[in-house]
Every structure is written in C-alpha cells, then in structure tokens.
Amino acid sequence: MALLKKLWYDPVGSKVLAAGIVAVLAALLTYILELWPVFASFLITTYSFLRASTPVYNWLIGLVIVLIGLALRGFVAGHRKGGKGTLIIDYTSDEFFGVCWRWRIDEGMPHGIGHLHSLCPKCRYQILPRETMELRVSQWIVNFECQDCGYKGETQAGMWREVEQRVILKIQRNLRERLNL
Ligand SMILES: [Zn+2]
C-alpha cells in the first residue's frame, strides 16, 4: 500500500496508475460489449492526452497501457479456452459406417448431442440416410448413398432411429475416453 501511495503522489507514477485503472475498466467494459475497436480508439485518446501533458515519459505510459491491454486480452482468451471444456467442444466430427458425421455439443438435448448429420467422405456432399425395408429378410436397413458422386457407406441393419442411436452412443463413448471418465 505504501508503494501504491508513493506512486499515486509521484507525478509520473500517478499517471501510470490512472492509465492502468482506465485501461482495466475499458478492457472489462469492452470485453462485455465485445467492442475492441472502441477500446482501441479509447487507448489512442488516452495516449494523446498523456502525450500532451508529459512529453518525457509518454512512451513509457503508452507501453504500460499496451502491456496491460495485451495481458488482459491473453487472460480473457485463456479463460475462454482451457480446462476440460475444450476437449468436448473440439470433438464435433468423426467417421462411422464409412461416412463422416458432424454434430454440435448441445446441453439442451437429452444425450447432449445436437444437429447430427452425415457427409460424403469423398465429396463432402450431405448424405441423407435412407431407411428401407429389405423384403428378402423382412428387415429394416439404412443406406448411406451420396446423391452427388454415388459413394456408398456401410449399410446398417435397423431403422434410422436405431442407427442414429448407435452413432450417438459411439460419440458419447469417444467423449468419455477423451475426458477420462
Ligand atoms: Zn459424394
């Protein structure tokens, strides 16, 4: 506290402190509003104000402001990534039954996976799984055939609902493995 007080009464130190406080407040505010351009112009305004009043130490004050800004930005970015959450969110595609699957992690869904769809591994055209009754053995099957390039995935026994469930269970198992659960 003594150092802080000394800095506060020091003509240059107080400016650095004040600039630091302003920068922190501005960074917090802009983080909330997601308005970095506004923050940048605010910094420029602050910098020119300080430049006008302290010709000798202006470069130092400018440097401090930039460093505080960068540190805050890094801190915020670190908080957004990091932790176990990264792994879950990063795992949003895989290949099962010879076709590419994509999905979103969706807390709103009972199984936690939403917007599940399949793509052709050759041309990336979306494949709409086709459910048909195999009359020979009187069983439902699901075909994955690309309507654009003619590629065929592995035919699965069962109705689409069951096959979709199998895909979701595979995704959930891989999620558990990635999270060591
Ligand atoms: Zn294709």
Task: Return the exposure string of 53-63: e unless at least 16 CB atoms fall within 10 Å of the residue's CB, then b.
Answer: ebeebbeebbe
Position with higher pLDDT, 74 vs 150: 150
pLDDT value of residue 109: 84
Query: pTM of the entire structure?
Result: 0.52
Q: How confident is the model at residue 65 (pLDDT cuts 50, 70, 90)?
A: low
Q: Give the distance (Å) from ligand 1 centre to CA of residue 126.
A: 8
d(CA 174, CA 178): 6
- Residue 100 CA to ligand 1 center (angstroms) comes to 11
In the reported structure, the alpha carbon of residue 128 is separated from the centroid of ligand 1 by a whole-number distance in angstroms of 11
- Cα(172) to ligand 1 centroid in Å equals 26
**Ligand 1 center–CA 145 separation, angstroms:** 8
CA distance 54 to 48: 10
3-state DSSP assignment of residue 136: coil
CA 94 to centroid of ligand 1, rounded, Å: 16
For 10, phi and psi rounded to 5 degrees?
A: -75, 135
**Measured distance CA(151)–CA(160) in Å, rounded:** 19
Q: Which of 13, 19, 68 is nearest to 5 (CA)?
A: 13
Distance in Å, CA 103 to ligand 1 centroid: 19
Per-residue model confidence (pLDDT) at position 144: 98
Q: Alpha-carbon dihedral of residues 88, 94, 100, 105, nearest 10 degrees? A: -10
Answer whether residue 127 shows pLDDT above 80.
yes
**What integer pLDDT is reported at residue 163 of this predicted model?**
98
